[in-house]
Chains A and B, each alone.
Chain A
């Protein structure tokens, strides 16, 4: 089916315009643009529509690099746990470009905060289910996406939301790979367990301090010694021991509202949150971890009761 062509003539643009002005709700303001929930007049299906955000002087450098790469990658992926881009459509002016995507009831954030049973922790079977979804999606991306050898300039700094940003990125390591994503997954794992972001830094420095407080300062670590000496850093970090085991209690039904965590689960968590990116577990290996093969069976979370 010729997709973009459907929207190219003036007459068909009316379809697009009538599709857009009645958004059911304003969903989210993503990094690259506003997301709307809308109904497709042709199929009556509910879709999510994301308008690509252009710089004010978009005519200067054409289509934004970050959006171009995001769309390119999303289109080349096909995985049940990754949102798929159905088509791209244009409006009347060059700065009106939209991605039409599958629409979901809620994102993880909403599921944790607003879903039914928001006040109780997830069952460990549910956490396991979600972790497998996230990790297998990540493994798919890693296997398909071209290596991140060429991050666009200026993208390195803002590439991951602060709370989920790997420590090496906070020290402006500019050459990075899929390890930065497994770190983020580790943060999400912790968040699923306590239903709250685990490293809520108020700024980059505070983020580093929070990371070292939770996981200990990397003393005697080859990677960090090299990185710091390469950067000529003279800053001394306070020595801390890891607080991870105390923060995420194993084998206990705590009163603090943490999901039950098996020793296997704790081991996986600490491997995902390895300060040394070279020692951090990959998504593929994480899926082979005993956390998934032993213990409780996975279960679809009860978001829609």
Chain B
């Protein structure tokens, strides 16, 4: 198990580090930390409604943070406008569902959930931009992957299972 934890840490080290990307926002930008919080809440709501795992949301936020830290593609636009920020977050969610969930989330349904604010084409072209900025590194370990392994290291006791459930 320790070797697996080490392997996961190595995996993490190979991805780009996140930075405080809000510092990159231009002076006139309307993007701030509340935007990130709002989008995280939105993802949790959608995930719960559709029966997705919360780890999909972890992945979404990892994609979002890494994309906005990357300074590549259109990431600067997303830091300067709430509209773009929202599109990036929604698209990260779309891609996270693809990598993690056993079911597909159709881009048409997603566009509907945005009430026509973004088109399917907007989401698909943003997905491309994000994948390139992330160098396609989309299967890193999630926080829960670490938690599960760490709990595994605890001396065996009956509460182990409930610990994992609580963590999830």
Contact = CB atoms under 8 A, between A and B. Distances in A.
**Interface residues of B: mostly helix, strand, loop or mixed?**
helix
A78 interface: yes
Contact of A75 (B102, B132, B136): B136
Interface string A127-159: 000000000000010011110011111000000
Contacts of B95: 62-63, 68
Contact of A150 (B10, B72, B100, B131): B100
B139 A75 contact: yes
Contact of A153 (B10, B104, B106, B125): B104
B101 interface: yes
Contact of B137 (A59, A63, A76): A76
Interface string A180-213: 0000000000000000000000000000000000
A285 to B, nearest CB: 15
Contacts of A2: 72
A97 to B, nearest CB: 8
B139 A146 contact: yes
B102 A88 contact: no
Residue of A8, A72, A73, A94 ringed by the most chain B CB atoms within 10 A? A72
Interface string A1-24: 011110010000000000000000
6 contacts: A4-B133, A59-B124, A63-B128, A65-B99, A149-B102, A151-B102
Interface of B: 3-4, 7-8, 10-11, 14, 72, 94-95, 98-104, 106-107, 120-121, 123-125, 127-128, 131-133, 135-141, 145
